[in-house]
């Protein structure tokens, strides 16, 4: 077998890259170790920047997001028992769209299937090989038999625990990491959202977030110890704790119900440098992780794909290697800005074990400054809606 681009990972990063390359006339094959149903079963992000929606349009899969997505023009910060709205559209002229990552993945899967493009699911023991030469290849096992595909380039879109980054010589890569001492306990429920915009709550008991996936499906989170288990959190306990961390108006309007999904996500900031190793490129969670506070994970993956797909289009269309040579530096410049913003949002909204009363008062001072200063609100809004590609 042979293809131009072998993509490892059929999550949104790999699927979006494959679809964009297809529109550019660049042949590609995707290898995924899980089943399609498993990939679709992952409950992940639900907030898209305008740049991400524009990329979906470019890939020909943005129609449903445009039609069903909820466009938000602001967010609310809750602290000291009150809520304060940040007008992100007024400050930037931009909006964000609530549309679940599962739906993005489904749209991309359907488009890839309709185009007759090759996706190999349940590919075991995937290995990128010889990517430091002019003849890279990827091997895998399916149905007990070994297979191999030759390619021009490999795109590692297989997530934080994937094989792509793990295949790099440790001496050729440098990583930066901050592991946070708490996690997010999240539930999904068939209930109307408590507010038509997101509520980010700083509370003495810990952070809380009220968000949604649609007008009838809500997603709620509370900060919890990183070693908690979901068995410790029956629905009634979750709803009671959430109410303790919200303002009275939100408590009065909150509609509770049985959870249809419940999970605890650890929080970390992680960056790997560089993002290119010979003829293999990393994109998305394979190269970086951000805490979900700033809603940057999926959007950062999309910006990587924007840079990488453009670089490969230039390589094949214009016979220029400038784009692929600059991919890592350009992508990382935007990555680090998003990592900073996500770290900052996390630092002002969560309760840290070591912060004490002084730290708590500094958080409140920061939040009060944010909601009272046009310049501070504009800086938050500019980062929240997404910096330009």
Residue closest to 103 by CA, chosen among 155, 67, 157, 156: 67
Residues 6+ apart with CB under 8 A from 182: 206, 223, 224, 225, 226, 267, 350, 351
198: phi then psi, degrees, rounded to nearest 5: -70, 145
CA distance readout (Å), 6 to 136, 140, 308: 9, 12, 13
Let me know if 292 is a catalytic residue: yes
Let me know if 249 is a catalytic residue: no
Catalytic residue among 22, 288, 296, 350: 296
- Sequential pLDDT tens for the chain (389 residues): 899 999 999 999 999 999 999 999 999 999 999 999 999 887 777 899 999 999 999 999 999 999 999 999 999 999 999 999 999 999 999 999 999 999 999 999 999 999 999 999 999 999 999 999 999 999 999 999 999 999 999 999 999 999 999 999 999 999 999 999 999 999 999 999 999 999 999 999 999 999 999 999 999 999 999 999 999 999 999 999 999 999 999 999 999 999 999 999 999 999 999 999 999 999 999 999 999 998 999 999 999 999 999 999 999 999 999 999 999 999 999 999 999 999 999 999 999 999 999 999 999 999 999 999 999 999 999 999 999 99
Domains (ranges, CATH) in the chain?
A: 5-72+97-176+268-346 (3.50.50.60), 181-267+353-384 (3.30.9.10)
pLDDT tens figures, 209-222: 999 999 999 999 99
Let me know if 296 is a catalytic residue: yes
- Structure token digits, residue 302: 């999309």
- Structure token digits, residue 356: 């004490």
pTM: 0.95
Let me know if 221 is a catalytic residue: no
Q: What's the pLDDT at 45?
A: 74
Please report which helix (H) or strand (E) contains residue 141, including its range: strand 137-142
Dihedral, 36, 17, 324, 51 alpha carbons, nearest 10: -130
153-156/280-282 β-pairing: parallel
Let me know if 327 is a catalytic residue: no
Catalytic residue among 22, 128, 292, 327: 292
3-state secondary structure of 269: strand
């Amino acid at each position: 077998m042979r293809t131009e681009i072998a993509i490892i990972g059929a999550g949104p990063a790999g699927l979006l890259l494959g679809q964009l390359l297809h529109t550019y006339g660049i042949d590609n094959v995707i290898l995924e170790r899980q089943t399609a149903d498993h990939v679709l079963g992952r409950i992940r992000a639900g907030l898209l920047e305008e740049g991400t929606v524009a990329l979906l349009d470019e890939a020909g899969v943005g129609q449903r997001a445009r039609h069903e997505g909820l466009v938000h023009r602001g967010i609310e910060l809750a602290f000291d028992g009150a809520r304060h709205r940040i007008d992100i559209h007024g400050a930037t002229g931009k909006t964000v769209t609530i549309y679940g990552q599962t739906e993005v993945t489904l749209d991309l899967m359907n488009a890839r299937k309709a185009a007759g493009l090759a996706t190999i699911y349940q590919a075991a023991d995937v290995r990128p090989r010889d990517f430091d030469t002019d003849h890279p290849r990827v091997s895998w096992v399916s149905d007990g038999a070994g297979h191999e595909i030759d390619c021009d380039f490999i795109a590692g879109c297989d997530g934080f625990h994937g094989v792509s980054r793990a295949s790099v010589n440790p001496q050729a890569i440098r990583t930066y990491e901050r592991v946070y001492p708490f996690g997010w306990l999240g539930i999904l429920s068939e209930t109307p959202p408590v507010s038509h915009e997101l509520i980010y709550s700083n509370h003495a008991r810990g952070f809380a977030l009220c968000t949604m996936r649609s007008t009838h499906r809500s997603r709620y989170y509370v900060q919890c110890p990183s070693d908690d288990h979901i068995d410790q959190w029956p629905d009634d306990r979750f709803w009671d704790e959430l109410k303790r961390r919200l303002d009275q108006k939100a408590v009065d309007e909150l509609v509770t119900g049985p959870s249809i999904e419940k999970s605890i996500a650890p929080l970390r900031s992680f960056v790997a440098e560089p993002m290119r190793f010979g003829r293999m490129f990393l994109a998305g969670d394979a190269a970086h992780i951000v805490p979900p506070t700033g809603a940057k994970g999926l959007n950062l993956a999309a910006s990587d794909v924007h840079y990488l797909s453009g670089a490969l289009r230039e390589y094949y269309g214009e016979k220029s290697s400038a784009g692929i040579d600059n991919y890592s530096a350009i992508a990382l410049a935007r990555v680090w800005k998003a990592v900073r913003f996500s770290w900052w949002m996390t630092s002002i909204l969560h309760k840290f074990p070591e912060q004490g009363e002084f730290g708590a008062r500094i958080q409140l001072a920061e939040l009060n400054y944010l909601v009272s200063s046009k310049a501070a609100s504009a800086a938050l809004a500019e980062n929240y809606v997404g910096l330009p590609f």
